[in-house]
Amino acid sequence: MQEVLCGECGKVINSRDDLCTFLSMNGIQALCSDCYMRNQKTIRGVRTPINSQSTVLVMIAAIVACLLLFVWHPSWIWVVVAAIAPFIRSLSWLLFERKLKA
Ligand SMILES: [Zn+2]
């Protein structure tokens, strides 16, 4: 099993509970929960982790909204918009969460 290291303190992250992934300028980054909490107080840390329950809810809401918009104004742009969040979520899973046990 590969190791997932915290992008800030370099600590080995052992469980998904301790992992917070978020979108940054450099792509998807992984932080341990301690560093994530510390970063919450700074401007660059005001983000919801990708691997949180609320992100899944936002993702479902976005897909439903895009589905409705697609029905009212058929355009492929809604399909693309609806696919962004699940794409980022699965990328986070592929890069980090897959390597950790639940
Ligand atoms: Zn850390």
pLDDT tens over the chain, length 102 residues: 678 999 999 999 999 999 999 888 888 889 999 998 887 776 554 567 888 888 888 889 999 999 999 999 999 999 999 998 899 999 999 999 999 876
pLDDT of the residue at 44: 58
> Which residues, 6+ apart, have CB-to-CB distance to 17 below 8 Å?
33
The Å distance, Cα 44 to ligand 1 centre, comes to: 15
The Å distance, Cα 86 to ligand 1 centre, comes to: 26
Around 1, how many Cα atoms within 13 Å sit in the side-chain half-sphere?
13
The Å distance, Cα 36 to ligand 1 centre, comes to: 7
The Å distance, Cα 84 to ligand 1 centre, comes to: 27
The Å distance, Cα 96 to ligand 1 centre, comes to: 14
pLDDT of the residue at 52: 85
Q: Which domain holds residue 72?
A: 4-99
The Å distance, Cα 11 to ligand 1 centre, comes to: 6
The total number of structural domains that make up the chain: 1
